[in-house]
Amino acid sequence: MDLIPILPPLVALLLILITRKAALSLFCATLTGTFLLTGPSPILAIRCLFEDHLFPKISGSPWNISAIIFTLTLGAFATLLEKSGGFTSLLNRLLSKKGNTPQRKLLLGIYGLGFLCFFDGLANALLLGRIARPFTDSLRVSRQFLAYLIDTTSANVACLAFVSTWIAAQLSIISESLKLTPFEINPIELFLSSIPANSYCLLSLLLIPLIIIKAWHIGPMKKAQPMASPPSHHHPPISSPLTIIIPLLTLITTLPASIYLWQDGAQWSWQNAFTSPGVPYAMVASGFAALLSAYLCFPRAQREKAPQYMLDGAASLLPALLILICAWTLSSIFTSLGTAELITQLLGSNISTMSVPFFIFLLGALMSFLTGSSWGTFGLLMPVALPLTLHLGVDLPEPQLTELLSMTVGAVFGGAVFGDHCSPFSDTTIVSALAAGCTPTSHVSTQLPYALIAATGAALSYTLMWTGLTSWLATLLIAVLLTTFLLSRSQPSVP
């Protein structure tokens, strides 16, 4: 059997492990693939790369173009909200409220505000950590626990949210990986149906309030000591909370409205709207509307700085977009080489059809932990996982195959987020530690036991799906077991 088609993904994975640079590693893998397609000629290889794979993927798909524009727009939007001072005002108001259990209320408040910062994972961790640290220090909450709290509510929320800097990339990579589907599947519908199958993200978010309520500190977290907060000489601007509330409402409302109004056909419906080819254009339009709203709500006294903030926010996401573009190109090369078909032949006789989500989750969790890149992981894994699922499930009825595809998508994203959440090489892990005021090493060691609990629960959930349970029922059963276990523990003696 010719194993050459699996050389590009092996090159990508090996280089990511060595260099910790996902974009560079994926690009080297695309070069390897083009040389395999064209032979030793550098000129032919470069022409093949640009003419047959790179440019067609960027210009030939509205989903891919919209992913680039929408992601850059949301990056500018997130930075404007952060710099406006509205979050500072809102967070200070909410976090300053104390009661009979001030520590618990404070931590639950930070957890809730993590959902409010749904639009970007890094902005979520950086903003909450920077503003919440003085409050947690004053109530003697360890900075390691704060880092765990903000890290868990950053990538997990951004991965599940339908409106975030992740969503355009997620939809485009799903769309690219479904080229060989024997029937029509809309990327939006598949993403939404995959949410109950994203067991790791859901269980991680469930675990936080249970840990806060029961003060369940395990492993190295038991030894994490609170620190006194040094006096701060940085005074962020304070403005009305409306500077963030109005733009967020604009973003939340204009996206579904734009998708609904952009549909074609005589009979308008939500189902028709989400399957309309106009969805990518509607996403870009709503992104621009939200960005305009954020600019108009930006404090007038500082508005001359707003254009530079927008440029800085868009530029901050360029490395992620480079990963995405390399992933698109590599997906096209995989198709030309028959990589997915070869992997299917190698695995097809060794695994059952319904076990694919289980093994894909384990593989994604391992890859993301070793590489520290969630986007690099799902960009490399999704073009292989979905064709593998399609091949193994070719004899399944269409509804059952669609359910299996949604499980696979959820497994890919959940496994990818595991590494983004707790790998020592992840940018989110490092930013969360620095924002909370602790070292990345101490953050990883104290967070890892909780992440492994959620990952174990997710693996059990995919095992239940393997036996035939639906994704929502399997995830729900594990969630109930986890909740029952933690709530049955004795009450903690905390303030």
pLDDT for 21-31, tens place per residue? 778 888 898 99
Q: Is residue 166 predicted with pLDDT exceeding 50?
A: yes
Mean pLDDT in residue range 47-68: 84
pLDDT tens by residue, 130-153: 778 888 888 888 999 999 999 999
Exposure on the CB side of residue 369, measured as CA atoms within 13 A: 15
Which pLDDT score, from 0 to 100, does residue 493 have? 44
pLDDT tens by residue, 175-194: 888 876 767 788 888 999 99
Which pLDDT score, from 0 to 100, does residue 125 have? 81
Distance CA 9, CA 6 (A): 6
Cβ-based neighbours of 134, under 8 Å, separated by 6 or more: 229, 232
Q: Is residue 99 predicted with pLDDT exceeding 60?
A: no
Distance CA 402, CA 381 (A): 18
User: Residue 233 has which token pair?
Assistant: 């000489």
Assign 348 a pLDDT band (cuts: 50, 70, 90): low
Query: CA 343, 347, 353 angle in degrees (round to 5)?
Result: 115
Which pLDDT score, from 0 to 100, does residue 233 have? 47
Q: Report the Cα–Cα distance between both ends of the chain, in Å, rounded.
A: 65
Residues 32, 34, 40, 45, CA torsion sign? negative
- pLDDT winner (highest mean) among 197-206, 272-281, 385-394: 197-206
In percent, the amount of the chain with pLDDT more than 90 equals 24
Rounded mean pLDDT of the chain? 83
Distance CA 314, CA 35 (A): 33
Q: Is residue 115 predicted with pLDDT exceeding 60?
A: yes
Mean pLDDT in residue range 51-78: 83
Q: Which residue has the higher pLDDT, 308 or 240?
A: 308
Nearest alpha carbon to residue 191 among 163, 228, 218, 222: 163
As a whole number of Å, the CA-based R_g of the chain is 23
Mean pLDDT in residue range 5-34: 83
Mean pLDDT in residue range 228-232: 55
DSSP 49: I
Which pLDDT score, from 0 to 100, does residue 495 have? 38
Distance CA 350, CA 140 (A): 52
Query: CA 344, 350, 355 angle in degrees (round to 5)?
Result: 85
User: Residue 310 has which token pair?
Assistant: 């927008």
Q: Is residue 106 predicted with pLDDT exceeding 90?
A: no
Q: Is residue 33 predicted with pLDDT exceeding 80?
A: yes
Assign 57 a pLDDT band (cuts: 50, 70, 90): confident
Mean pLDDT in residue range 99-121: 79
Outline where 338-439 has alpha helix (H): 339-348, 356-371, 374-392, 398-422, 427-436
